Structure 1
Amino acid sequence: MWCVLLQRRRLHSSLCLMKKLRGKTPAEQRWLTRQLRDPYVKASHDQNFRCRSAFKLLEIDDKFRLLQPGDGVVDCGAAPGAWSQVAVQRVNSAGTDPESPCGTVVGIDLLNIPPLDGAHFLSSHDVTDPATHAKLLELLPNGQARVILSDMAPNASGFREMDHEKLIMMCLSLIDLAEKILQPGGSLVCKYWDGILVQKLQERLSNVFGSVRTLKPNASRKDSSEKYFLARMYRKPVKRR
């Protein structure tokens, strides 16, 4: 009986896939097939996360315990809000656990971010803009964050080296942001694409963080060049007179 039911389910899934692929370009077919077969896409639907990237942060935080109740968190490149969802849960910014301190989550993106209970979203805001920094200082307790998260990336141009350089520059801008809002001992997680400028980024991070390591979460697709730097134990740079 179970074998028959399993065969029917497989047949139904195959028919649904064929219908969805009908009329699509080869590139669209490849993307849709990958999405439909991706266990993290299914899990994100089952657990009400806005996208599969939530599982990258969940894995990182489960291992390193970056996000604690009461923490202030800034999520850069937050749209559509999956990392902010994780942060809200972990730092208790929605106050769902009355026994734990309430944290603060602020998400920033050039795109619109749908509202999320427990998070402040700065849609249509540039992470590098001084006006955005001023708003962060207003929203964060004492103007400081314990953790800066970044899963942001530039729109793909099709030129790998150019896209790599743009993303590295984005990551470097986070070091400037850290100087303004990250409290001593704080942490930074940022996505990068592998390439010739990675060493430069790692060196810059090592100048102001006591520990810098490379991560490749299981939820990060194996055929993707994306990796993450986890930088911990922030120390503010000494300003020269």
Structure 2
Amino acid sequence: LDGYRKSCIHVSAVSLKKTPVHMKGKSAAEQRWLLRQISDPFVKAAHAQNYRCRSAFKLIEIDDKYRLLKPGLSVIDCGAAPGAWSQVAVQRDMNNIPLFIPGVDLPKGSVIGIDILHITPLDGAQLLSNHDITEPSTHMVLERLLPEARADVILSDMAPNASGLRELDHERLVTMCLSVLDLADKVLRPGGSLICKYWDGALARKLQQRLSSMFQNVRTVKPRASRKESAELFLIHNYKGEVVA
């Protein structure tokens, strides 16, 4: 796979102000995209709250409802660039822990973000740029980095670069999802959670069958921060795994 299509792009402070946007030389599609970004309340909120992109609010809404991210957990963020989901994971996984309580050993969480693209450093997270989550060698790297080689939560908001062919893009995203499931089978603790983006299509049944064999309590959700015209949905699962005595 030649790359991940990012569902969000950095928007500068200038573009969010009520100043004219220079459209000269831009295609009609580019003009529509710019105008949509300027009027998007989640883009404005991401800038105001210092999130790297609007997709942060997808994870915030999901976690507010299902409470998957807790202090002390180990979290993997697949397809992390530019890092908004890792930001949310750090805030909820680590920053909610008090700095010091006398006589109490506090849990220490870890957040590992991974992407084939470059990810700007983020305090509180370990970021693996230029790593392909679909490669078994990347899975081995993650196993070495994780405490006890186990993760409590796996996140995936990644998608393939758009080809313009709906079924091809759907097939490529299902391939990515299956690779994330392969990773979960190796490192996710029994009872751990997975949030994974997918698009409905011909191969959705294949994905659902694999999920049913590995997970329980599967839920499907479309956050308000997902644009109405977007076909994206998020699957939330609890991993069955093998209970080790």
Which of 161, 164, 169 in structure 2 is aligned with 1:158? Answer: 164
The aligned residue for residue 211 of structure 2 is 205
Task: Measure the CA separation in 1 of the matches of 2:84 and 2:60.
Answer: 10
Which of 125, 130, 148 in structure 2 is aligned with 1:124? Answer: 130
3-state SS of paired residue (1:231) = strand
Q: Comparing both structures, which one devotes a greater share of its residues to helix?
A: 1
Q: Kindly indicate whether residue 191 of structure 2 is the aligned counterpart of residue 182 of structure 1.
A: no
- Aligned letter for 1:126? D
3-state SS of paired residue (1:21) = coil
Unaligned runs of 5+ in 1: 1-11
Moved more, 191-200 or 144-153: 191-200
Task: Measure the CA separation in 2 of the matches of 1:83 and 1:178.
Answer: 18
The aligned residue for residue 235 of structure 1 is 241
The aligned residue for residue 47 of structure 2 is 45
Kindly report structure 1 stretches of 4+ aligned residues shifted beyond 6 Å. 93-96
- Aligned letter for 2:143? L
Q: Cα deviations across residues 105-124 of structure 1 (Å, max 9, x unaligned)? A: 01111001010011111110
Task: Measure the CA separation in 1 of the matches of 2:144 and 2:28.
Answer: 48
- Aligned letter for 1:117? D
Q: Cα deviations across residues 160-180 of structure 1 (Å, max 9, x unaligned)? A: 100001001110111111111
Superposed displacement of residue 206, structure 1: 1.2
Task: Measure the CA separation in 1 of the matches of 2:99 and 2:22.
Answer: 42
The aligned residue for residue 69 of structure 1 is 71
Query: Quick check: 1:93–1:102 contact (8 Å CA) kept in 2?
Result: no
Superposed displacement of residue 93, structure 1: 6.7
The aligned residue for residue 179 of structure 2 is 173
Query: Quick check: 2:170–2:201 contact (8 Å CA) kept in 1?
Result: yes
Query: Quick check: 1:104–1:119 contact (8 Å CA) kept in 2?
Result: yes
Unaligned runs of 5+ in 2: 1-16
The aligned residue for residue 9 of structure 1 is none
After superposition, the CA RMSD in angstroms is 1.8
Task: Measure the CA separation in 2 of the matches of 1:220 and 1:226.
Answer: 7
Query: Scaled by the length of structure 1, what TM-score is found?
Result: 0.87
- Aligned letter for 1:127? I
Q: Cα deviations across residues 64-89 of structure 1 (Å, max 9, x unaligned)? A: 00001000000000000000000001
Which of 12, 27, 30 in structure 2 is aligned with 1:28? Answer: 30
Superposed displacement of residue 28, structure 1: 0.7
- Aligned letter for 1:51? C
- Aligned letter for 1:56? K
Task: Measure the CA separation in 2 of the matches of 1:129 and 1:98.
Answer: 40
Which of 137, 146, 149 in structure 1 is aligned with 2:152? Answer: 146
Q: Which has the larger radius of gyration?
A: 1
The aligned residue for residue 196 of structure 1 is 202
Identity %: 61
- Aligned letter for 1:79? A
Query: Quick check: 2:23–2:31 contact (8 Å CA) kept in 1?
Result: yes
- Aligned letter for 2:150? Q
3-state SS of paired residue (2:132) = coil
- Aligned letter for 1:42? K
Q: Cα deviations across residues 121-173 of structure 1 (Å, max 9, x unaligned)? A: 11101112232222211211111000000011110001010000100111011
Query: Quick check: 2:188–2:239 contact (8 Å CA) kept in 1?
Result: no
